Structure 1
Amino acid sequence: MGVKGLQGFLDRCCPQACVPVDLKEMAGRHVSQHPTLVVDGMACLNHWYSCEDWLCGGQWKEYMNILKRWVEAFTVAGIRLVFFFDGVVNEQKRRVWVKRRHRVNGEISKIFRYVKSHGRQPGRHLSCLPSGLASFTSFALRSLGQEVYLSVQEADYEIASYARQHGSMGILGQDSDFIIYDSAPYLSVAKLRIDTLTTVLYDRQKLCQSIGLATTQLPQLACLLGNDVVSEGEMQHVRDEAMAKYREKAQAPLSDAPQGQTVLAVSHLLSSKWTSDMEETDLIPKSLNVSASQRRKLKAGICSYLLPGHEALQGGDISAPSCVPAFEKCVSAEILKACKEQHIAVEGYMVYCVLWEGMAECSNTLEDADDAELLPQALVFKPCRKHVYGLLLLNGHEGSSIDPPAVREWFVYPGNPLKEADMVEPVPVCLPSTCEKPSLDLLWFGRGPEVPALRLTSFLSIFDCHDFSSLYGNIEDSMLTALCLVTYIALQIKTLSLEDLDAYLSQAVCLRLKSPQELQQIKLPSLCSRAVQLGSLYVRGLCHLLGANCASGRPLPSAALMPWHSFDGRLFHSKYLLAHSGVDNTALLEGDASCLSLFLCLRENLVEACRTRGRVLQSRPDPPGRRTAPKFSDGETHADADENWRERRTHTVDHQRGRGWRERPWGRGGHRGGRGTAGGRHFDHQSQSFDNFGGGGPPNTSRPGRHPGHRSRPNRGRYHLAPRWSEPPAPGT
C-alpha cells in the first residue's frame, strides 16, 4: 500500500527528488565489488508479466523467457539480484487486504461481462494478472539460479532490513514506504527501462528539503498521511487541521495538486509542532491533537519503520512476528524448524502458513460469479486442503489427547463476504489398506527404502488418485501431476464433460513440444468465459498440488508442478474450442502419433479412476439453443461441497437443489440469459480452418457453438484404449 498520496506527490509535485539514474553507472560507483540490488518481487509482477494473453490462465512459457531475459540484463551489467516476496499477510493488515479483494472481485465481474458481450479479452484498462503468478514467479526465479526469499513478517520491512544490513546499492520496487525507511536508495520499477537499465531514484534527502522536514520525521509524516498500520481515516481530523492552517498561511491562491497540498500541509504542521527541546525518544509531539488510543496507534506505526540498529525505540514495533507456532503441539520441533527454513528459501508452499500461522489464504481468481455450473476454486479444492491439514496435523496423533484446532482460511471467491475466516477441520488422509500410515517425521526425514513410495502414495491419496502410482517412472512427472489434477477436478465438478477433460489433457500433452514463439502464434477466434474460468481453475490446482507435495515430503520435484510444464492458457483455450467443436482425437493432438499415444494413456487412466468412484463421464458439447439444467444424481447439488455454503451465500441469489452451486434464472429459449447461439458462428472442421472459426461478430456465450449439421465425435464414450504401460520401477529410484 505504501504511504497515502506520497508516491503521487513525488512523481507530480517534487521533481527535484526524482533523479534519473543509470544502474550500470551506479553499480560501477558502488563500494562493493559485487553490488546487490534488492528487488520487491510483488511490485514487479505487473512489470514482468507483459504477455499479450493474461485472461486465459497465463502464457507461462513466454513468461519464463521474459524473466530469463530480465535477469540476464542485470547479470551482464555485473549486478547481483536478491528477490523478496510476501510470505504472509500481517493480520493487522487483514482489513486492507479484504477491502482490496472485494475491489478486485468487482473488476473481475466486469471482465467476464465484457468477455460474454464481446468474445474477446478487454484492454489493459480492465485486466488482472494470471492466478498464482506471485507463487510461481518465486519458483521460476529460483530455477534461474536467483536468490529468492519469502517473508515471515512484513515483506517491505524485510526488504529494507536486508538492504540496510548488506549495504545494497538500492531497492527496486514501487512502494513509497521505501523512501520512509532509512535504508538503501529507492529505485522505481515502473520507470525502469530494461534495455538501458535506467530508472528514477527517489532521493529522500531532497524530498525532506522540499517539504521542510528532517529525515527522522518521515515515519511521523507517513503515519499522519495514512499507511498500512494507521489507516487514512484515523488521522483525517489531523490532516483537516493541517490543511486549514496551510490555507491561512498561503500567500497566494493554492495551485498545487491535491496530493501536494496535503503532503505539504501535514509537513508544515509537523514542523511547527516539533520543538527544539523534544527528546529523541519523543516520537509524537505532545501538542498533536490525537487521543490516547490514536497516540498508541501512531507510535506502533512509527516503530514499524525502525530497522535493526534502531532498537532503542522498538518497544512498540509491530513488525516482530509471534515466536510461538500456532500448532507447535501437533508436530515436532524438527518439523517446525524445517518448514520455516523451507518457506524462507522458497522450497515449501502452504506448510509454513498452516503450522506457524494456523491459516491458509488465497487471493482473487478469475471466476464468473454468474456461472452457476462451476464451483469456485476455493470450494473445488477444499477437500484436498482438508487432507493436507490432516497429513500435517493428525499423522502420528490418532487416538491421542491432542485436539488440533481448525485452520483459518481466507479464500476469496464470489459470495464470500470475508468478514471472518473459515474454520476448516483437518481430515485424515485415506491411504490404501496395504500401506501403513507413516508419521510426518518419517515422510519428511526418513531415509529407508520404503519412504519414497510412502511419500508418493501420501501425495496421490490427498487427491484420491493413489491408483496412478503405477504410472510413476513411466511418464514424465509433469504428466503424472496433470493427470492427477484433471482427475481430481473431474471428481469434484460433476458438470465437467469429456470435452472439457480432453481439452485439459490434450493441451498438457501438446505443450511439451511447443516453443514460446509457437504458443504466441496461436490465434483464438473468440473467447469463452467458461474456458477462462477452467483455465484459472487448473492453475490454482497446481498450487494445491504444490502444497500437497511439500506436506508429503516432496516425492516429486517442484519443477514438475510448475505451470510452464503442463499449462498454457492460449493453448488450452484453443483445445477447448476444438474439443467442443467435435474434432477427432487425431486433430486434437495435431496429428502427432506420440502425443496421441500419451493422451490416450492419460485418458484411459482418468476414465477408469472416475468409473471406479462412480463418476460417469459423458460427452456434452451443448449445442446452442438446447441448454438444460445440469443433472445430478439423487438430488445432489454442488453446494454440498461446502457444508457452510448455505450460511455464507452473501451477494448471491438463493440456490435450488439440482441446479448447480449457485442457481441463476433460465433465459428464454431454454438456455441461460446472455448465452445464445454465438450469432451463428460455429466451427465446421470439414470446411474451415481453425484460424477462420467464427468470422463475423463476437459470440455471446460461455460454451462454444457447434455446427447444426456436424457429425457426432468418433468414439465419444467408447474409447479405443492404448495398451497399458509397462510396470514402473519403485518410486524414488
Structure 2
Amino acid sequence: MLLFLTLSLIFPPQHPSVDLTILPQSSVMGVRGLQGFVGSTCPHICTVVNFKDLAEHHRSRHPGCTPSVVVDAMCCLRYWYTPESWICGGQWREYFSALQDFVRAFTAVGIKLIFFFDGMVEQGKRDEWVKRRLKNNREISRIFQYIKSHKEQPGRNMFFIPSGLAVFTRFALKTLGQETVCSLQEADYEVASYGMQHNCLGILGEDTDYLIYDTCPYFSIRELCLQTLDTVMLCREKLCESLGLGLADLPLLACLLGNDIIPEGMFESFRYKCLCSYTSVKENFDKKGNIVLAVSDHIAKVLRLHQGEKKLEEILPLGPNKALFYKGVASYLLPGQKSPWFFQKPKDTITLDRQVISMSSDPESKQEVPMCTDSESKQEVPMHMNPESKQEIPTCTDPESKQEVPMCTHPEMKQKLPMGTDPEFKLEASICTNPEIQPEDPMNMGPETKQLVTMVSDPEILKVARTHHVQAESYLVYNVMSSGEVDCSNTLEDELDQALPSQAFIYRPVRQRVYFLLLGDCKDGTSTCPAVKEWFVYPGNPLRHPDLVRPLQMTVPGGTPSLKILWLSQEPGIQARRLDTLLACFNLSSSKEELQAVENPFKALCCLLIYLFVQVDTLCLEDLHAFIAQALCLQGKSTAQLVNLQLDYINSRAVQLGSLLVRGLTTLVLANSACGCPWRISDFMPWNVFDGKLFHQKYLQSEKGYTVEELLEQNRSRLTKFHNLKAVVCKACMKENRRIVGRTHWNSQHTGRWGRQSPGSHRTSSGYSRSGQGQPWRDQGPGNRQYEHDQWRRY
C-alpha cells in the first residue's frame, strides 16, 4: 500500500474518479506477507517502466516479432471495472467501453495481449477458495446493512465486483478480437508458463506468486496508468539480492511463508523461531522484526548447510505435511525447471492423495496434448507445454495472422465444430493435427493428467469440450464432463430477505438438466447418473462440503439428442433440435412457438424471465414491467447517457434482482454451449440486454406506480414491443399455472415465502418440490447433500 501511495506521486491513477488505493486487499493473492514487505521494506525492487518503450526495445532485439504481454485477467477485473455504479447488477455497456479502451491503448503501441482466465479451482486450493468466499459473505452482509440504513451505494472501500464479471469479460474480449484462454488448472501457472515459453514482454497482473515463478518480468496492473502506459515492474532478481537468496530458493521461501497451497498456520511456530533467531543477531532491528527477512536468512545461513545432503523433511519441521509441502514447492516449477531443494532424483516422485507429483515440472497439469503449431497461422496453443516435448517453441507470433489459436485434437474432428462460431467473436474453433507429436511419457506428466477417469468416457467429445473450454467459448461444460465438479462465487444476495431465494437454488433445475445432457446414458432415469459436486455460494452454506446434485431427466421433443449430434452434426434441421434441447433445459418446450416469434436480442431474455417468474412466486407484475422496460430503453441509450443516469435512492430488493438476472444470463451461457449454441451468444451478453442503473431506475418507477408509457419514456415505438414481450411471458407462465399479479394483489394473497404449494405446480425449487412437500429453502441445512430430480432431499 505504501508502494502505491509513493508511486501515485509519480503518475496519477488511470481513472481519477476511482480511488484504487482503497480497494479491498482480498484481490491481492499469492505469498502471504510478501506484498506488504515489498511496499514497506523493499521498494527498490519496483521500477517504473513504460510499455511503449519496452515494446520498441523488444522489436529492436527481435525484428519481425510482435511484443506480447500475457494478462492474468482474474487479477485485473477490479482494475477494469471503472464504472462508478457497481451495486445495481453491473454497468455493462460502460464496462465494455472500458475494456475497449484498455485493448486500444496496447494495440496502439503494437503490443499483443493474451488474456488468461481461471478455468477451475485446484483441489489443493479449495480451502483457500472457501475461506475467501466466506469472507466475501461477511462483506456482502455489511453491504446490505449499509443499503438499508443509508439508501445509497456504499463507498468504494466496500466495492464488490458485479456477479458474472469474469464470465462475461471473456466474451467481451473475444468480441474485441482478443486471444482469450481459459485455464485447465490454476491460471497463474499457465500464465507463468506461457510467458516463459513465448518470450513475452512480461506478465500483467497483481499476484505475488509471479515474483516467485522463474519466468518473464512481472508488471503491476494496480499501478498501470492507461494514458501513459506507465506501470511498475517488480524485479525478482533484485528481490533475491535483497534477501540473499537465489531464484531457485524463492519457491521454498513462498511455501515457508504460506500461500494458496500451504496453510498460513502450518509453519507459524517455525517462522516465530526464525524471527527470534534473526532479531537476536540484529542489534538495532525492529523488535517486531520481519518474517520475510527472518525466514530468508534461515534459508541462506542454515538450510543451505545441508542442501543436497539431507532431505527437506530432515531439516524442516514438515511432520505429516511432507507431501503437501513438496507439492507446494513443485507447483512453482515451470516446464523444464528443477529445484535444488529436492534431494531426490529429478524424476523421483511422491504420492499425494493417490496422485503422483513430478519433482521436475508441471505439478498440476491437466494437459494430455502438448503444444502444436499451425504452419499457416504460426500461432501456438496457449496451454502449458510438456517439458519433454521435442518440438521447438517459437519466440514470436505472426502479427499479420488473424486466425485464432489452433488446438491439437482428434484428426477426424477437423472442420466439425459448429459450436461457438458466433461471427461477432471473429473466431472459429480452429483444429489442427501434428503427426510429429509423440505420446507423452506417463512419468513425465502431471498428476491430473495421469488421472484418466473422467465423468464422460467418449474421448472425442471430451476433447471437443476441452477445446471450447480452453478457447473460452463455453462455461462450466468441460468442468462437469471432466471432473464432475463446478463452483460459483459470491452473489450480491441479502441473507435476511426471506422472500427471494438464492440464485444457486433458482437455477439449479436448469443445471440439473444440463448435467443430464452432458453426462448422458441414463436410460433408466437419473439413478445411474453420477452426482455433480456443486460448490455454490449462498447464504447459510458453510461450504464444508459440496452439494451433491443429481442430473434431472428432461423431455425433448423427438428424444434427447447425443452430444455428437448437438456439437458436431451439420445436418439440415440440427439447429432446430439444438433449440428444442435448450428450451427443455429451462422446461419451456411448450413455449417454443411464442419465443420463436420474439425478435433478437429479446428472445433469450424472455426465456429467462419466463423461467424466473415460474420459479419464484414472490416476483410480481411491477418486477416484470421493470425488467422489460429497461431492456427496451437500453437499446436507445448511449454509453454517455447511461453514465449520467442518476438514481433517487438504492433499494436492496432491486439490488438482489439485478444480480439474479445476471446470474440467469450466465446460466444461459452454460445451457446454450451445452446444447451446441442454438442462440447467438451476443443476444444474452449483458451489455446488449441489461444495465444495472437503468433497471434500478425502472424498478423504482414501477414501484411508485408509473404507467407503462412513463416507464418507456413516452416512446410509442417501444409500447407495442413492450406489450408483445409481456404477453409472451404471461402466456407461458399461465401454462404453468402461474398468474403474475400486481404487488397490491400479491400482498393480500401471499405469505412472503418462496414457492407454490399447489399440488399441480410444475415449479421446482429447494423450498417446495412438485408434490408441495418439503422445507422452506432457507431452512435446509447446507453441506454434503445429494439432490435428486426436483425433490432435493437430504442425503
Give the TM-score category using the shorter length.
0.7 to 0.9
| Residue 640 of structure 1 pairs with residue 768 of structure 2 | yes
| Partner secondary structure for residue 61 of structure 1 | helix
* Separation (CA, whole Å) in 2 of partners of 1:520 and 1:91: 41
| Equivalent of 1:346 in 472, 481, 492 | 472
1:355-434 correspondence runs (5 A)? 355-394=481-520, 397-399=522-524, 403-432=528-557
CA distance in 2, matches of 1:324, 1:253: 49
Contact 2:34 2:292 in 1 (8 A): yes
d(CA) in 2 for partners of 1:536 and 1:453? Answer: 31
Contact 1:330 1:397 in 2 (8 A): no
1:336 aligns with 2:462: yes
Q: Could you say which residue in structure 1 is the equivalent of 2:248?
A: 216
Residues 756, 768 of structure 2: 8 Å contact kept: no
CA offsets 1:250-269 (integer angstroms, 9 cap, x no match): 121417xx6x7110000001
1:269 counterpart residue number: 298
The one of 128, 144, 157 aligned to 2:160: 128
- Structure 2: distance between partners of 1:74 and 1:429: 47
Q: Which has the higher contact order (CA 8 A, sep 6+)?
A: 1
Q: Which amino acid aligns with 2:336?
A: G
Q: Distance between the aligned counterparts of 2:334 and 2:595, measured in 1?
A: 49
- The answer to whether 1:309 aligns with 2:434 is no
Contact 2:757–2:768 (Cα < 8 Å) also in 1: no
Which position in structure 2 is the counterpart of 1:704? none
CA separation in 1, counterparts of 2:715 and 2:450?
Answer: 56
Q: Structure 1's 326 and 64: CA in aligned 2 closer, same or farther, altered over 3 A? A: farther
**Any idea what the Cα deviations from partners look like across 1:656-715, whole Å, max 9, x if unmatched?**
xxxxx9xxxxxxxxxxxxxxxxxxxxxxxxxxxxxxxxxxxxxxxxxxxxxxxxxxxxxx
- Does the CA contact (< 8 Å) of 1:482 and 1:566 recur in 2? yes
Change in Cα spacing, 1:594 to 1:645, as seen in structure 2 (3 Å) is: same
Structure-2 change in CA distance of 1:83 and 1:160 (3 Å): same
In structure 1, which of residues 563, 567, 588 is the aligned counterpart of residue 686 of structure 2? 563
1:7 paired to 2:35: yes
Q: How many Å apart are 1:400 and its aligned residue?
A: 9.4
Contact 2:213–2:334, Cα closer than 8 Å, also in 1: yes
Deviation digits for residues 225-280 of structure 1 (CA, Å, limit 9, x no counterpart): 0011111100112101100101110121417xx6x71100000011112336733x
Distance in 2 separating the partners of 1:421 and 1:597? 46
CA distance in 1, matches of 2:555, 2:597: 25
How many Å separate the matches in 1 of 2:196 and 2:207? 17
Residue 477 (structure 1) aligns with: 600
Determine the C-alpha separation between the residues in 1 that align with 2:590 and 2:700: 30
Aligned counterparts of 2:451 and 2:87: Cα–Cα separation in 1: 38
C-alpha distance in 2 between matches for 1:522 and 1:19:
40
1:318 to partner: Cα distance:
3.7
Pairwise CA distance, 1:579? 1.2
Q: Deviations over 1:599-627 (max 9, x none)?
A: 11111011110111100110115899999
Cα distance in 2 between the residues matched to 1:401 and 1:486:
28
AA of the residue aligned to 1:173: G
2:616 and 2:754 in contact (8 A); partners too? no
CA 1:627–1:87 in 2, change beyond 3 Å: closer, same or farther? same
What is the RMSD of the two structures over their aligned residues, measured on CA atoms? 2.6
Q: Which residue does the alignment assign to 1:67?
A: 99
Residue 606 of structure 1 corresponds to 729
Alignment check: 8 A CA contact 1:38 1:159 kept: yes
Q: Give the share of equivalent positions with the same residue, in percent.
A: 42
Q: Distance in 2 between matches of 1:297 and 1:330?
A: 29
Aligned amino acid, residue 716 of structure 2 = A
1:287 is aligned to 315
Output the amino acid matched with 1:486: L
Instruction: State the secondary structure of the residue aligned to 2:564.
Output: helix
1:634 Cα offset (Å): 4.2
Contact kept, 8 Å, 2:617 with 2:756, in 1: the verdict is no
User: Which of 296, 307, 312 is the aligned partner of 2:323?
Assistant: 296
Deviation of 1:294 (Å): 2.9
Task: Give the whole-Å Cα distance in 2 for the aligned partners of 1:643 and 1:209.
Answer: 64
Distance 1:487 1:71, change over 3 A: same
The equivalent residue for 2:627 is 504
Q: Shift of the alpha carbon at 1:295? A: 3.2
C-alpha spacing 1:398/1:327, structure 2 compared with 1 (3 Å)? farther
Question: How far off is 1:284 after superposition?
Answer: 3.0
Contact 2:526 2:550 in 1 (8 A): no
Under a length normalisation based on structure 2, what TM-score does the superposition of the two structures give? 0.77
Is contact 2:578-2:675 (8 Å) kept? Answer: yes
Assess, with a 3 A threshold, how the Cα gap between structure 1 residues 408 and 117 changes in structure 2: closer, same or farther.
same
CA distance in 2, matches of 1:116, 1:632: 25
**Which letter does structure 2 place at the counterpart of 1:232?**
E
CA distance in 2, matches of 1:315, 1:326: 17
Distance 1:402 1:318, change over 3 A: farther
Q: Which amino acid aligns with 1:58?
A: G
**Bigger shift: 340-349 or 557-566?**
557-566
Instruction: Check if 1:192 corresponds to 2:320.
Output: no
Give the corresponding residue for 1:685. none
Conserved? CA contact 1:477–1:556, under 8 Å:
no
For residues 651 and 465 of structure 1, do their structure 2 counterparts lie closer, same or farther at Cα, with a shift above 3 Å needed? Answer: closer
Pick which of 614-623 and 627-636 moved more.
627-636
**TM-score (structure 1 length as normaliser):** 0.84
Give the alignment partner of residue 138 of structure 1, picking from 155, 170, 193: 170
Runs of 5+ unmatched residues, structure 2: 1-28, 339-345, 348-356, 367-447, 760-764, 784-791
Does the CA contact (< 8 Å) of 2:493 and 2:656 recur in 1? yes
Contact 1:509 1:599 in 2 (8 A): yes
With over 3 angstroms needed to count, the CA separation of the structure-2 counterparts of 1:607 and 1:625, relative to structure 1, is: closer
- Deviation readout 1:27-56 (Å, 9 max, x if unpaired): 111134311101010000010001011000
Report how far residue 437 of structure 1 moved: 2.9
Change in CA separation of 1:295 and 1:332 when aligned onto 2, cut-off 3 Å: closer
Rounded Cα–Cα distance in structure 1 between residues aligned with 2:364 and 2:755: 50
Equivalent-residue separation in structure 1 for 2:260 and 2:597 (angstroms): 51
Distance 1:389 1:481, change over 3 A: same
Question: Residue 364 of structure 2 aligns to which amino acid in structure 1?
Answer: S
